A and B are shown apart, each in its own frame.
Chain A
């Protein structure tokens, strides 16, 4: 540990109950980070498929997805690049609704989320069941903009935000873990912001 000469930092307001270690409050800003070109998708043509280790694979049309019982998340999000954004309100459908229809098999333990761009991210199934994960199409009452993952993105707010795949179109259930895009490129497999699991090798 090296103390930085002359560094005092910002006033310690708001910490530590809302901001995980090493994070700062981005305020009104909502930074955009993607590794690829932003696709401009037609919402009404967008579909979501759940397949892999499930009893009943299923594809929802945009309209069918909206016909499911809706659900929202009000709270904070945390990006591995150290910004956090507080008091967001996302609307969509809880993944529990999707599991209810597709019925994960006994051995299913992981999820690999796929975007239209080829982006992937892996998550333990336990992190995306029990009201902790959604697919969402709106934030703050407005449709999600393409650069923020519209028309549809995954939302797993208790993990770093790269896990909340933008432009999500397929949720593949797996019996064995398979690293996704950033996870193959040096980032942590789980990504819990409160444990600061940013990169491979972190606790």
Chain B
């Protein structure tokens, strides 16, 4: 866990919702105009703080999906059962709403082209990888980034079309997936022989997803020969205990 140059850090500011899209019954994409924005590095996150009239607040962190070159800040939020912030954003947010925002935050799970990297994301864990991919495309760095995206179904995996178009390897675990050659990939988590070619020559790996997903992906990377110390992890969610 070595150091690099310090990642940008932003203070509290305000974002105005410029675009909002509900995608299916669980995902909401928010695009915000951020006052005095500090440009982030792909992989960093923002905190959204909701404030009630009596001063009560609730805040949560969300990875940024946009690349720094995007004039708006894009977040993809998954509505969690009973989620105080995510459910509010899914149910209530509309264009013109103003939110307290803080970011960018986090200096570890970042990539801005400095190393050849393999990324594995599960579900909304693909969001920071999308920021990396967009950054890579904008700056002609796509040969330095290999992405593996894992979801249950095509309809529930955020950004799946963009990922496929960008040449990411997509594995669906609950339904078969038609590949560009017309052959179906049978529903399954990614296999070692599917991930190994992505790992070859990669100096670093990024894993983002639920706790269970992250431990699966880390093991897969280790089996494919990735050095444990070169694996950066961002996980979310809970264990039952």
- The answer, yes or no, to whether A201 is at the interface (CB within 8 Å) is yes
Name the A residues within 8 Å of B236 (CB-CB): 31, 33
Q: How far is the CA of A177 from the CA of B176 in the complex (A)?
A: 54
Chain A interface: which of B137-145, B154-162, B188-196, B225-233?
A: B225-233
Cα A8 to Cα B88 in complex, Å, equals 10
Q: How far is the CA of A162 from the CA of B59 in the complex (A)?
A: 18
Query: What B residues does A181 contact at CB under 8 A?
Result: 1, 108
Q: How far is the CA of A37 from the CA of B1 in the complex (A)?
A: 11
The A-contacting residues of B in range 1-23, CB under 8 angstroms, are 1-3, 6-7, 9, 11, 14
Per the bound structure, the CA–CA distance linking A32 and B215 in Å amounts to 11
Shortest distance from the beta carbon of A114 to any chain B beta carbon, whole Å:
10
Given contacts A9-B84, A29-B238, A82-B59, contact A37 B231 (CB under 8 A): yes
Contact residues of B between 102 and 156, Cβ < 8 Å to A: 102, 105-109
Q: With A12-B56, A38-B215 given, is the CB distance from A2 to B231 under 8 Å?
A: no
Central interface residue in A3, A7, A148, A200, by most chain B CB within 10 Å: A7
What is the total number of residues of chain B having a CB less than 8 Å from a CB of chain A? 49
Interface of B is mostly: mixed
B231 CB contacts on chain A under 8 angstroms? 36-37
Chain B residues with a Cβ under 8 A of chain A = 1-3, 6-7, 9, 11, 14, 49-53, 56-61, 84, 88, 92, 97-100, 102, 105-109, 211, 215, 218, 222, 228-229, 231-241
Interface residue from B88, B229, B234 paired with A118 (Cβ < 8 Å): B229
Please tell me if A60 contacts chain B, counting CB pairs below 8 Å.
no
CA separation between A31 and B234, bound complex, in Å?
12
Interchain nearest-CB distance for B63 vs A (Å):
12
- B9 to chain A: which residues have CB within 8 Å? 186, 199-201
Residue A119 lies at the interface, judged by CB distance under 8 Å to chain B: yes
**A2-B51, A35-B233, A185-B107 given; A147·B1 CB < 8 A:** no
